[in-house]
Structures are given as structure tokens and as C-alpha cells.
Structure 1
Amino acid sequence: MRRPQGRDEVMAAVLAAATELLTESGPHDITVRRIAERAGVNHALAHRHFGTKEEIVRQALRAQADTVVAELAAHVAGSEPDITKLMAVFANYPTYWRSLAHVALHDPALAEQGAAPTTQLFVDLLRRAGDERAQVSAAVTASLMLGWLAFGDFVVTATGADRDRTNRAVATAVHELLERR
């Protein structure tokens, strides 16, 4: 395998490796050396371009969040966002929500800074709907969606619930939160 060359390739490889490691185990089990090893670069290069593990984690989450928000933008452009499609977009990015969940559980301050674009999307949607408590509603909405993404399969299996019906019920609950005025 060809080693990344140049600043842009090295940074992209480091962020991709960090994302993989975050998805697997979260920030507590990774080091800059492990990230660099996975990326196929010298760890001194990772330090030079990012400084710290925390900065790598922030930027890895931010890059993923930016990608998700770019896809979500098409679904929230109209006056009535399709919540089922929004949830499907999030579901299509398991590396994002898994790494976000790991980071949120082990180092919430990193998750708060790295996930800002997706969080801001919900705050903006809620403000647009006239919600004066948009930040609180966004927190509840994000918690519901992240909980469903992370634990939905387990909960459905444990309770014997129908996955499609439960998914629709979660979408309805999210829709109701976004429509509250």
C-alpha cells in the first residue's frame, strides 16, 4: 500500500484512521501513535499537522459532521423537512454516530466541539419552526435520534418490537419535537 504523501494526503489519512479507531473503541483507547500507525504515516507527522490526539478527534468528528450536514441540507431546505429521510441519512453514516457516541461517552467536551454542525442543524430547524427553547429541543431530538441509532437494534430485539413500526414511531416523535411551537 502506498504511503500518504504531502500535507493533504497525510492529514486525510490521519483523519480517516482516527475515524476508524473512534468507531471501534472511542478516544480512551487510541493514541497519536496508533492513529499514525493505522494511517501509514510517521507519528511525528500527525503531531506536526494536528498537535494533539484531542485535536485529531475534534477534526475527525468535524469532518464527518460536515459530510452528514451537506447531505442533510437537501432534506431540510424546504419548509417541511422529511424526518424519515433525515433519520435515514444519519443511519447511512454509522462511522459518524458510532464515533460520536464513543466520544460523547468518554470525553463529552470533544464531542460537543466536533459535532457542532449536526447539532446546529437541529437548532436551526427548531428555531425555524418557532421553538423558543430551540437548544433544549435540539438536545432532546439529538438524544432520541442518537439513542435510536446506537441502541435501536438491541431495543427492538430485547422487546420483540417490529423494527419498521418502531422506526416510524421514533420518526413521528422526532417530527413532533421539530414541529413544537
Structure 2
Amino acid sequence: MSLILFNKPYGVLSQFTDSGTQTARPTLSAYIDVPGVYPAGRLDRDSEGLLLLTDDGRLQARIADPRFKMPKTYLVQVEGAPQEAALRQLRQGVRLNDGLTLPAEAECIDPPELWPRDPPVRFRKSVPDHWISLTIREGRNRQVRRMTAAVGLPTLRLVRWRIGDWTLEGLAPGEYRIAD
């Protein structure tokens, strides 16, 4: 059984082939040369960070299936200054168009020491940005982005840092390692 921890760069699809457009987009096949592994969950093309891949179907389901409520922690650069009311809303659950989210863990953090993003996040002198750590236990489509937008804090950069006990620690963008 293999479990691979991969630091998915911005702009890379969470799949091995791209059948979506005429223009070829980067996929996992440009980075991972281990046969028979598949992503356990997804990470949007415009998001970065930890993506787990495995050749074990049961493990893949346990990681990806919302029934198991595996915690996923994201470092989120948001536009604006998070007020306690917005953080409290995230902690209690946010009403989205597909229903109320489960309560999240949310806190303001100092800017993390991350790699530069390519392309860089747009910077505007007149609009402050801050970082929050957000841990969720479900996996709706673009959930973190929708949650932060719903509380008035649009996401500028999104990095998944942790899934369960697995972390991105020590992996540069495009690098992977096989878990012990």
C-alpha cells in the first residue's frame, strides 16, 4: 500500500489527464511517476497544498468521504481584516446555497512562511489582507472559498496544510514523498 503526500502547485489539476479544454493544463502526471495511485479527494486548480494519493481504495474512501469527517486545515489569505463576528460565524457554521456547513475551527494567524505563488496574489495598497487558519470536516465544492466570502472575507490564496495527521511540512511545491 502506498500513500503519497504531494504539494500541489497553483494551476495544476488534481488528476492525471486533462480532457477539459483544447489548451493543455498541467496535471499530476507531470509530477508523480508512481503507477496505480489516485487522488484521495480533490484540490481546485487555483488552490495549492497537500493532496494525498493512494493505491488503497478503502484508505482513499476514508480520506475523501465526508462521512468520516477527516479534518482538513487550510491557510487562507483573505481580503479584509477578520473581525471576531466573522470568525464566530465560521466556528458556528455558515449558511451556503447548499445548506449550513458544519462548524469549523477558525483563527487569525501571522502570515505563514510559504513559497512565492506563481502568479503572485494581486496586491492592493488600499485593501488590507490577513491570514486565517480554517479547519473543516466536510468537503463541499469550493467550500472554504464560499465560507470566507459568506462572512465578508474573500479568499486571495488558499493552501491546504493538513489532512488528518498528514502535513505539508518539508515539501516544496511539486514535490512528493511516500508516507511511512
Of Structure 1 and Structure 2, which has the larger fraction of its residues in strand? 2
Between 1 and 2, higher relative CO (CA 8 Å, sep ≥ 6) is seen in 2
Tell which structure's C-alpha radius of gyration is larger. Answer: 1
Regarding TM over 0.5, the answer is no
- The normalised TM-score by structure 2 is 0.22
- The normalised TM-score by structure 1 is 0.22
Of Structure 1 and Structure 2, which has the larger fraction of its residues in helix? 1
